[in-house]
């Protein structure tokens, strides 16, 4: 359950980053963002994207694993 | 001054939500619109999680009682005069955008699928062909590459048909929508929908129905968001824009 909550938070952050950094109204061209941190944030975005997919793989594997256990006992 | 959002001219009080550095948000009106800003001391704004969520919290609090155009993170100006100059410069476009999104919210959808296995009959495109290539003549090698390409095309077509089906079920509930297919091999669909506030429940029900009819897919729906994906800088926005990006 806590894994789902953590994954939900990670995912929501990904959705926020996608919007707040890349979309919305642009009133002026020179957005004042600290450059080094933007690189880190975009790196973080890619890591988040990867982690959403990894969590999904882990969850699927866990479900399949527990189903096999049930069948084995039956 | 840091700018969070553009709103319609409202008499409602500013929300209690604190802005960056705990500064209180203020409304600077200009004709029929207003900019919501706060004073700050930073030369550059770092996109930390704290500041990002702080910005978002202010925008979402505003969304509760007025029409809001979220401004991209990091918009800083010298003062009130500069704010009004920007509002004047973009006035017509901002008014048009406010009209388009009035009473509407954005819902986001990401869909993961397991169809990546269909890309090639064995894992690793070029590795597979390279392994076979060591003992192969030129013709066999080319035939193998052609077959791989064909399978990739079939896979991509599957993705596009499936994504179009999912998107089609939801897009008709929305006023506008955007979507992108195969942003990554596993990310079948990334979409955003501008919907009337009172259609949120219907939309959610449709997402749940799609989850049941497509049990192998992972549909991840978030929102309601301020309409980030449906506003443009200044100019009158194009409606019903659709972006399709195939995975290369």
pLDDT tens-place string over residues B24-33: 999 999 999 9
Q: A21 or B15: whose pLDDT is higher?
A: B15
Percentage, residues of chain B above pLDDT 70: 85
How would residue B44 be classed by pLDDT, with cut points 50, 70 and 90?
Answer: confident
Burial of A40 (0-12, 13-18, 19+ CB in 10 A): middle
pLDDT of B41:
85
Using CB atoms, pick whichever of A11, A13, A24 lies closest to residue B231.
A24
Question: Chain A partners of B56 at a C-beta cutoff of 8 Å?
Answer: 16, 20
B216 CB within 8 Å of a chain A CB: no
Residues 6+ apart with CB under 8 A from A13: A48, B49
**B26-30 vs B187-196, strand pairing mode:** unpaired
Position A58 pLDDT exceeds 80: no
Q: Does A9 touch chain B (CB under 8 A)?
A: no
pLDDT, residue B186, reads 86
Cβ <8 Å between B72 and A21: yes
Measured in degrees and rounded to the nearest 5, phi and psi for residue A43 equal: -60, -45
- A16 interaction partners in chain B (CB closer than 8 Å): 52-53, 56
Of B238 and B91, the one with more pLDDT:
B91
Say which of A16, A25, A34 has its CB closest to residue B72: A25
Cβ atoms of A31 and B124 closer than 8 Å:
no
Question: Using N-to-C axis directions, what is the helix angle for B200-213 and B138-171, rounded to 10°?
Answer: 140
All residues of chain A having their beta carbon less than 8 Å from the beta carbon of residue B76 are 32
Check residue A53 and give its pLDDT: 59
| pLDDT level of residue B127 (50, 70, 90 thresholds) | low
Average pLDDT over residues B181-192: 90
- For residue B19, pLDDT over 60 is answered with yes
Contacts of B88 (CB under 8 A, 6+ apart): B30
Assess A66–B contact: CB distance below 8 Å, yes or no: no
Nearest to B99 by CA among B192, B230, B246, B219: B230
Q: What is the mean pLDDT of chain A?
A: 64
Write out the DSSP string of A34-70.
-HHHHHHHHHHHHHHHHHHHHHHHHHHHHHHHHHHHH
Distant-in-sequence, close-in-space partners of A21: CB < 8 Å, separation ≥ 6: A38, A41, B47, B72, B73
Q: What is the pTM of this model?
A: 0.77
Q: What is the mean pLDDT of chain B?
A: 86
A20:B108 CB<8 A: no
pLDDT computed for residue B122 by the predictor = 41
Contact B35, B87 (CB under 8 A): yes
Residue B49, pLDDT score: 84
Confidence of residue B178 (pLDDT cuts 50, 70, 90): very high
For residue B151, give how far its alpha carbon lies from the nearest alpha carbon of chain A (Å).
23
Q: Which of A63-72, B51-60, B116-125 has the highest mean pLDDT?
A: B51-60
Closest residue, chain A, to B184 (C-alpha): A49
Q: Is B218 on the interface with A (CB under 8 A)?
A: yes
Alpha helices in chain B (DSSP H): 49-63, 80-89, 91-101, 125-133, 138-171, 200-213
pLDDT of residue A56: 57
What confidence tens digit (pLDDT) does each residue in B61-119 have? 999 999 999 999 989 998 999 999 999 999 999 999 999 999 999 999 999 998 754 45
- Calculate mean pLDDT across residues B127-148: 75
Range in B24-38, B41-55, B202-216 with the lowest mean pLDDT: B41-55
Option in A12, A22, A33 nearest B45 (CB): A33
d(CA B27, CA A34): 26
């Amino acid at each position: 359950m806590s894994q789902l909550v953590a994954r939900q938070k990670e995912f929501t952050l990904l959705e926020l980053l996608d919007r707040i950094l890349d979309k919305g109204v642009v009133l002026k061209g020179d957005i004042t963002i600290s450059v080094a941190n933007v690189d880190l944030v975009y790196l973080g975005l890619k890591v988040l994207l990867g982690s959403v997919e990894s969590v999904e793989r882990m969850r699927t594997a866990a479900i399949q694993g527990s189903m096999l256990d049930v069948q084995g006992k039956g | 001054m840091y700018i969070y959002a553009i709103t319609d001219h409202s008499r409602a009080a500013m929300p209690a939500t604190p802005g960056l550095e705990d500064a209180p948000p203020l409304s600077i009106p200009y004709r029929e619109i207003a900019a919501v800003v706060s004073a700050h001391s930073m030369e550059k704004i770092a996109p930390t999680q704290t500041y990002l969520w702080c910005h978002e919290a202010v925008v979402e609090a505003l969304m509760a009682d007025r029409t809001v155009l979220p401004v991209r993170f990091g918009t800083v100006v010298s003062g009130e005069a500069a704010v009004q100059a920007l509002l004047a410069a973009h006035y017509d476009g901002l008014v048009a955008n406010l009209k388009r999104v009035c009473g509407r919210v954005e819902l986001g959808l990401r869909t993961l699928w397991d169809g990546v296995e269909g890309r090639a009959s064995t894992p690793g495109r070029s590795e597979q062909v390279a392994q076979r290539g060591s003992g192969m003549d030129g013709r066999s090698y080319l035939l193998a590459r052609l077959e791989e390409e064909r399978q990739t095309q079939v896979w991509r077509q599957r993705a596009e048909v499936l994504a179009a089906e999912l998107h089609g079920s939801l897009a008709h509930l929305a006023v506008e929508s955007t979507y992108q297919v195969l942003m990554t091999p596993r990310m079948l669909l990334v979409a955003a929908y501008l919907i009337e506030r009172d259609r949120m429940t219907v939309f959610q029900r449709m997402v749940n129905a799609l989850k049941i009819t497509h049990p192998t897919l992972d549909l991840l729906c978030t929102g309601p968001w301020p309409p980030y994906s449906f506003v443009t800088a200044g100019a009158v926005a194009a409606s019903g824009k659709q972006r399709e990006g195939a995975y290369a």
